[in-house]
Amino acid sequence: MNPLIAGSLGSDKPRLKMSEKLDFKKSLDSYKAKHGEFRILDVPPMNYLMCDGHGDPNSSPMYAETLSALYPVAYKLKFASKQELDRDYAVPPLEGLWWAEDMTSFTTDRDKSKWDWTMMLFVPDWISQEHFEAAVKKVGAKTPPSRLSDVRLESLSEGRCVQTLHIGSFDNEAPLLARMHEEFIRGNGFKMNGKHHEIYFSDFRKVAQEQLRTMLRQPISLATT
């Protein structure tokens, strides 16, 4: 096995006391990754607010409209959890699933206009479908975001994954992704099995490009001979 492998099969259940504000970036094992290390882990099923789209996130109006719909629902759920269930938490970082008809576009020409995506915000498992529907209703009561009806609550099951931490501009991810896909995954007897997954630990509006922290995850399975 590659010496950069770090394994973890531990529990991903957060621990908290009632009335304690939970930060999932610190409590969930699946949010842990190190720069310069490819880590294999089993990611449990997780619930997300999701909204799909297509195109370059830097120029697509659909992308901005998607975030404008996701975040109000996420905050309504957070406030409801605190007020009704006495379980407070910080709204988790933005995440995205990315794919294209030709997956080499992620590591070669980086033509983002060809990309499909699902933007996501993690939701703790004590939030029910009824909580979600009530939050959507509250968000839509005044001036509803244009894509509010496209937001859904859905479980994502990725299973065995490899992940690492990228530091720097989004446009500089290609060399690291090429290493992950070609050297690490194939070189250790695996194949890609699912969509490329990114978790954005930094706010790109406030953090310099060279200091952005993005977790890169790829679901994998054993390659067959």
C-alpha to C-alpha distance for 176 and 184, rounded to whole angstroms: 10
Tens digit of pLDDT for each residue in 33-53? 999 999 999 999 999 999 999
Cβ 117 vs Cβ 57: under 8 Å: yes
Token pair belonging to 140? 């839509």
Domain coordinates in residue numbering, the chain: 5-222
129-139 and 61-85 are packed helices; what angle lies between their axes, rounded to 10 degrees? 120
Tens digit of pLDDT for each residue in 60-94? 899 999 999 999 999 999 999 999 999 999 999 99
C-alpha to C-alpha distance for 216 and 132, rounded to whole angstroms: 28
Token pair belonging to 15? 């621990």
Burial-class residue 13 by CB neighbours within 10 Å (0-12, 13-18, 19+): exposed
Where is 211: in which H helix or E strand? none
pLDDT-derived band at 9, boundaries 50, 70, 90: very low
Tens digit of pLDDT for each residue in 142-172? 899 999 999 999 999 999 999 999 999 998 9
**Chain mean pLDDT for the chain:** 90
Neighbours of 155 (CB within 10 A): 11
Tens digit of pLDDT for each residue in 189-213? 999 999 999 999 998 888 999 999 9
pLDDT at residue 99, as a whole number: 92
* Exposure string for 132-150, b = 16+ CB within 10 A, e = fewer: beebbeebeeeeebebbeb
Percent helix, strand, coil in the chain, to 5, is: 35, 30, 35
pLDDT at residue 13, as a whole number: 53
Cβ 48 vs Cβ 77: under 8 Å: no
Residues 6+ apart with CB under 8 A from 182: none
Task: Name the region of 161 (left: φ>0; alpha: ψ -120 to 50; beta: rest).
Answer: beta
Q: Is 112 helix (H, G, I), strand (E, B) or coil?
A: helix
pLDDT at residue 109, as a whole number: 65
Token pair belonging to 16? 């908290």
pLDDT-derived band at 16, boundaries 50, 70, 90: very low
Q: What's the CATH number of domain 5-222, 3.20.20.80, 3.20.80.10, 3.40.640.10, 3.40.50.720?
A: 3.20.80.10
Token pair belonging to 11? 């529990």
- What are the distances in angstroms from CA 97 to CA 53, 75, 188, 189, 219? 10, 21, 24, 24, 11
Give me the mean pLDDT over the 182-188 stretch.
Answer: 94
pLDDT at residue 82, as a whole number: 96
**Chain mean position to CA 215:** 8
